Structure 1
Amino acid sequence: MRIVGGKYRGRSLLGPKSDAIRPTSDRLRESLFNVLVHGYGDPCDGARVMDLFAGTGALGLEALSRGAAYAAFVDQSAEARGLIRGNVDAVGLAGVTGLLKRDATKLGPLAPFEPFTLAFCDPPYRKGLGERALASARDGGWLAPDALVVLEEAGDVAVAVPEGFVTEERREAGETQLLFLRRA
């Protein structure tokens, strides 16, 4: 695994030792960020990014490499938090990141943080966790008005987009789907 674009392009990232963490592949991350740059006016530039079910932190780190101002990584797994810490330290981004040990489906209120303008949600597939996490982020005030959200899920799953989100587009990549949502 590596960062595929931006200031830190080519930097290696630590990967999981178990199957409990399923990182987004380099190829899919590259496609995802190409869609963001060319279809959404480069939402990384100056963004406050939230990476839900962060795993290795690759999505948030990629956003920071491409100009995001801050990234918060949310994961309750000890293995994931260790990987995220190692990757943040390896790239030298400790000053512009936060690591939250939380269940992404039960975020609670945002305070004292500022809302996020870009969010990635890459939960374990086929469990409905993405929808629950987005509802939790919405209810806790974690997302700024008009925030862009990218939800990754298995391609054969019918995602029930929570109230308060509008689907901008859906992309398929192999056995994965990417939903680009806007916080209404």
Structure 2
Amino acid sequence: MLNIIAGSKKKAKLDVPIINVRPTSSKKREAIFSIVESKNLKNKSDIYSDGYFLDLFAGSGSLGLEAISRGAKYCYFYEIAKEVIETLESNCLKICEYNNYKIIKKDITKSFFEEIDNPLSVIFIDPPYTLAPFENILHNLLKANLILKDTIIIIESEKKTKINFPYSMKNIDERYYGKTKITFLRLID
């Protein structure tokens, strides 16, 4: 079981899929949101009430649901594993209102994101460690015009993973937690 750590649904319990998923721990989620909030201080918009979030390889949905609990306007969840989607749907029903999320059942490595109607404030990319589809996903998000100059992209990967990101992006922060690396990207000004 995971818990939401802040916001209107603080301490709400999230189910974790039985099959091979690696939910982001509470410690890492708290660190991620603290960093996102600090990186957004320079912006005039509220990252939550004005924000559209994207949770790729959503699993239990803990990152996107944490954003919803903290006041995010909307979250898109991408997940392909049928057994995982059932848990994700159950968690969304606990945390979300009916009109502030969408679950897209699609292979993200082949997606062009046509289901997304708005530019995104925050993008979470947390694939299984055996995959490293970052370059392709980032390219497709850029091509779909979903990344703005203030969009924060968060990639969770294995510590040793080399992330090749487009030349139009820069690494704004990087943190290590045990065997995990969390990379924060943004478009170059």
SS of 2:86's equivalent in the other structure is: helix
**Bigger Cα displacement from structure 2, 104-113 vs 46-55:** 104-113
Structure 2 CA distance for partners of 1:55 and 1:175, relative to 1, 3 Å: same
How many correspondences in the alignment?
183
User: Is 1:77 paired with 2:78?
Assistant: no
Deviation at 1:51, TM superposition (A): 0.5
1:67 is the counterpart of 2:68: no
User: Does the 8 Å CA contact 1:149/1:183 hold for their aligned counterparts?
Assistant: no
Identify the range of structure 1 (135-144 vs 57-66) with the bigger mean alpha-carbon deviation. 135-144
CA distance 1:5–1:168, shift in 2 (3 Å): same
Letter in 1 for 2:119: P
When the two chains are superposed, the root-mean-square deviation of aligned CA atoms in Å is 1.8
Equivalent position of 1:47 in the other structure: 51
Structure 2 vs 1, CA of residues 112 and 30 (structure 1 numbering), >3 Å: closer, same or farther? closer
Question: Is contact 2:127-2:157 (8 Å) kept?
Answer: yes
Q: 1:110 aligns with which of 91, 96, 114?
A: 114
In the superposition, relative to structure 1, how do residues 22 and 6 fare at CA in structure 2: closer, same or farther (>3 Å)?
same
Distance in 2 between residues matched to 1:143 and 1:165, nearest whole Å = 10
Match runs of 1:141-160 below 5 Å? 141-160=145-164
Note if contact 1:116-1:144 (Cα within 8 Å) is conserved in structure 2: yes
Summarize the Cα distance change of 1:165–1:101 in structure 2 as closer, same or farther, 3 Å threshold.
Answer: same
Query: Normalising by structure 1, what TM-score?
Result: 0.90
Matching residue of 1:8: 9
Q: CA deviation at 1:126?
A: 4.2
Shift in CA distance, 76/139, structure 1 to aligned 2, threshold 3 Å? same
Partner secondary structure for residue 142 of structure 2: helix
Whole-angstrom CA distance in 1 between matches of 2:171 and 2:134: 14
| 2:173/2:185 contact within 8 Å kept | yes
Does structure 2 conserve the Cα–Cα contact (< 8 Å) formed by 1:47 and 1:118? Answer: yes
Q: Which runs of 4+ in 1 moved over 4 A?
A: none
Q: TM-score, normalised by structure 2?
A: 0.88
Matched, 1:174 2:175: no
Q: Which moved more, 1:147-156 or 1:161-170?
A: 161-170
Query: How much does 1:112 deviate?
Result: 6.3
CA shift at 1:45, angstroms?
4.1
Tell me whether 1:17 sits opposite 2:18 in the alignment. yes
Q: Percent identity?
A: 28
Measured after TM superposition, the shift of residue 79 of structure 1 is 1.8
Q: Which of residues 114, 122, 126 is equivalent to 1:122?
A: 126
Amino acid at match of 1:168: I
Contact 2:65 2:96 in 1 (8 A): no
Is there any run of 5+ residues in structure 2 with no aligned partner, and where? none
How far apart, CA to CA, are the structure 1 residues paired with 2:79 and 2:104? 7
Q: How far apart, in 1, do the equivalents of 2:131 and 2:166 lie? A: 15
d(CA) in 1 for partners of 2:24 and 2:102?
20
Q: Unpaired runs of 5+ in structure 1?
A: none
CA gap of 1:112–1:3, structure 2 versus 1, over 3 A, is closer
Equivalent AA in structure 2 for residue 128 of structure 1 = A
Question: Would you say 1:134 and 2:135 are equivalent positions?
Answer: no
Distance in 1 separating the partners of 2:120 and 2:170: 17
